[in-house]
Chain A
Amino acid sequence: MDFTRRETLALGAGAALAAALPLKAFAGSHGGLADEAIAAFTGGADVGEGGIELTAPEIAENGNTVPIEVSAPGASAIMVLAAGNPTPGVATFNFGPLAASQAASTRIRLAGTQDVVAVAKLADGSFVKASSTVKVTIGGCGG
């Protein structure tokens, strides 16, 4: 019982998609776009560490919908980027003075293994950044 032509094609399409993943990995080609977006958000100011938390899975269960969560107490805005996507911008969350907490969660689509980056503008006008590598894999075989 062999694959029909249709199934072979379907498999082939899946294969092509998966094959593209590692080639795009680690974002060399789009890293510049992410840097540009960060510079536009910060106005070129220095970006520090700490004071921002980014929660993302280590390995995406489904690259098409990856749940992430950001929180930066006291922030007025948090920008989220998928550094390896053709269009890195994901979202910018703005928090008014009456916001109970400066945290947000959403789902993003990732073109392949890459860094997800969050940059927050804090109350004093300074910027902090956090990033997390999310692996997108064709998967395989567990123990």
Chain B
Amino acid sequence: MISRRDFLQVSMAASAMLGTSGFGNWARLAAQQALTQDQLLEFETFGNISLIHVTDIHAQLKPIYFREPSVNLGVGSNKGQVPHITGADFRKAYGINDGSPSAYALTYDDFSSLAQAYGRVGGLDRVSTVINAIRADRPDALLLDGGDTWHGSYTCYQTEGQDMVNVMNALKPDAMTFHWEFTLGSERVNGIVEGLPFAALGQNIFDAEWDEPAELFKPYKFFERGGAKVAVIGQAFPYMPIANPRWMFPEYSFGIRDENMQEMVDEVRGMGADVVVVLSHNGFDVDKKMASVVSGIDVILSGHTHDALPEPVLVGQTHIIASGSNGKFVSRVDLDVRDGQMMGLKHKLIPIFSDVIAPDPMITKLIDEQRAPFADQLSEVIGQADSLLYRRGNFNGTWDDLICDALISEREADIAMSPGVRWGPSIVPGQDITREDIWNVTSMSYGEAYRTEMTGEFIKVILEDVADNIFNPDPYYQQGGDMVRIGGMGYRIDINKPQGERISEMTLLSTGEAIDPAKTYNVAGWASVNEGTEGPQIWDVVENHIRKLGTVNVTPRDNVKVVGA
């Protein structure tokens, strides 16, 4: 008889093999123009429980293009570990052929040309088809939403998240956790959550005044599935009041709270849980560390850092699953749970190729209804893209370069700053840029574009502070975003240095002169976490800029020199 440990390893290897051979097949089949929905969904039902994971959809109801990062550096013990490998290294690690559908879905190279071949990804009507197919195999599969769902589009902004709530409710999730949802303001979030027909979870959502668990959000929920008791524990984004404006949800406190997580795991085990699943918005490296600190978690469904991984990562006995972002992927995780133990796990990361997976007409209709009142606004063409516009990557992307250009030009600034968020679809060369496209990369409830004076010294303090939130070797001190994007200025960063010593060679690009610590510069930016920030909305600034340009051509820039990668 094989031990539990052996069995897990065996099933891991099998899923890895299935994964790679499946990927190889897709490449060949696609070359024959024969990639089909059945192949994408092919999965031999395993065990007695199925989990379906979606996360970080950022209000993308419709199919989009989404380029994965070329630069995604890991530090400390995570250097060179997944998800901190990209491009050819990533394809090599998972046995993915160049130019294959998986190469298009999971890596960045040749994105523009592969996008022509494979088309758009995502769309919640396609996601619905995948969910329905899994439910056809396993009617009581659990659908778990990792959050960042009610944020990120024109319609989501205008309806304060109602469009996403309406469409997600139709997909019938079983539980959800949260991050950007709170930037709707606590009153609105509370209002929606009170009416949700599924569990709103977060063991780390606390009442700020009393530092006690918040009443509205439960730490966990039990589900009876396949003759086993499944405990799903929620973990909301730990650093909401720091990364996002605290004044928008002053009643709430978060934090990692791994001691409380351990208490919750012990509590659900004590109540007879056969398997413990954590629905997390920690970010991947934080989840890895938490899995090494907290014992007794079988599966972490990981969100926040937008990584998409074709295989689970095993930390001790905990399997961590990363399911991408923007509706581009759905993860199916089948579990074999017997005698109070998880005996095996089988996983598949399903890319949502929108031209291959048929839309669920009921959900298409529902999505169209949400968008209909805004159709004219959404579809207005503002300009054309002559080059690829993308955001993901640790330091800069062409979308953010364009946004920084807009800030400098429209706000008459020396230097521009754009937040290092990881959401926002890509635009491929030749594509019209509509108002909807601009909102997809800028929409938020605190989008005012400020203009202020900063000394060179203070600009350095900001860069050092943000850099430490990304490159601190201890994941618990990382917030999971990317580096603040800078326009009009170049700098050098040594990611392995401590805070205060990473940034050097700051240069004002317009003059080529070194930034003077004592001198004052005009800085324009957006997404300030400070209350009372004033200025025009960033989407209007960007729209005005693109309208003037007509055709947009932004080639990747090299104003950030990275050392220590």
Contact = CB atoms under 8 A, between A and B. Distances in A.
Contact residue range for chain A? 20 to 34
B421 A143 contact: yes
A19 B469 contact: no
B211 interface: yes
A50 B534 CA distance: 50
A114 B253 CA distance: 21
A138 B459 CA distance: 12
Contacts of B421: 141-143
Nearest to B252: A61
Given A7-B534, A62-B241, A55 B259 contact: yes
Contact of B465 (A1, A22, A67, A142): A22
B179 interface: yes
Interface in B402-429: 419-423
Nearest to A7: B534
A2 interface: yes
A136 to B, nearest CB: 9
A129 interface: no
A7 B484 CA distance: 23
B233 to A, nearest CB: 19
A140 interface: yes
Nearest to A57: B255
A81 B36 CA distance: 63
Contacts of B94: none
B466 A140 contact: yes
Interface stretch (A9-17, A39-47, A85-93, A120-128): A9-17
Contacts of B458: 15, 18-19
A15 B529 contact: no
B509 to A, nearest CB: 22
Nearest to B206: A67
Interface string A24-38: 010000000000000
A143 B246 contact: no
Interface string B453-488: 110011001101110110000101101111010000
A131 to B, nearest CB: 14
B58 to A, nearest CB: 10
A49 interface: no
Contacts of A143: 56, 148, 179, 283, 304-306, 421-423, 480-482
Contacts of B283: 143
A139 B481 CA distance: 11
B422 A137 contact: no
A60 B179 CA distance: 17
A15 B240 CA distance: 21
A141 B527 contact: yes
A8 B523 CA distance: 12
Nearest to B180: A142
A123 B85 CA distance: 52
A41 B184 CA distance: 48
Given A1-B536, A140-B479, A142-B239, A11 B499 contact: no
Contacts of B532: 7, 10
A142 B452 contact: no
A138 B465 CA distance: 7
Given A58-B255, A58-B256, A143-B304, A3 B468 contact: no
Given A61-B241, A62-B241, A14 B530 contact: yes
A105 B421 CA distance: 35
Nearest to B480: A143
Given A59-B242, A62-B241, A143-B304, A3 B469 contact: no
Nearest to A135: B477
B451 A59 contact: no
Nearest to A69: B211
Nearest to A4: B534
Interface string B83-98: 0000000000000000
B451 A2 contact: yes
Given A61-B255, A141-B481, A15 B242 contact: no
Nearest to B259: A55
A140 B465 contact: yes
B439 interface: no
Interface in A50-81: 55, 57-62, 67
Contacts of B56: 143
With most chain B CB atoms within 10 A of its CB, the pick from A19, A58, A67, A138 is: A58
Contacts of B208: 61
A2 B411 CA distance: 9
With most chain B CB atoms within 10 A of its CB, the pick from A19, A62, A140 is: A140
Nearest to A105: B211
A25 B529 contact: no
B241 A11 contact: no
Given A3-B534, A143-B421, A59 B239 contact: yes
Nearest to A56: B255
Contact of A61 (B246, B465, B527): B246
B226 interface: no
Given A61-B253, A141-B243, A143-B421, A3 B466 contact: no
B254 interface: yes
B476 A19 contact: no
B480 A3 contact: no
B316 interface: no
B183 to A, nearest CB: 10
Contact of A141 (B179, B420, B452, B477): B420
A123 B321 CA distance: 47
A139 B462 CA distance: 9
9 contacts: A3-B451, A11-B450, A19-B458, A22-B464, A25-B499, A58-B477, A59-B242, A142-B237, A143-B422
Given A59-B238, A142-B180, A143-B304, 6 more contacts: A113-B499, A139-B242, A140-B469, A140-B529, A142-B240, A143-B423
In the complex, the 6 A-B pairs of residues with the closest C-beta atoms, listed nearest first = A141-B419, A142-B243, A143-B422, A61-B241, A139-B242, A58-B476
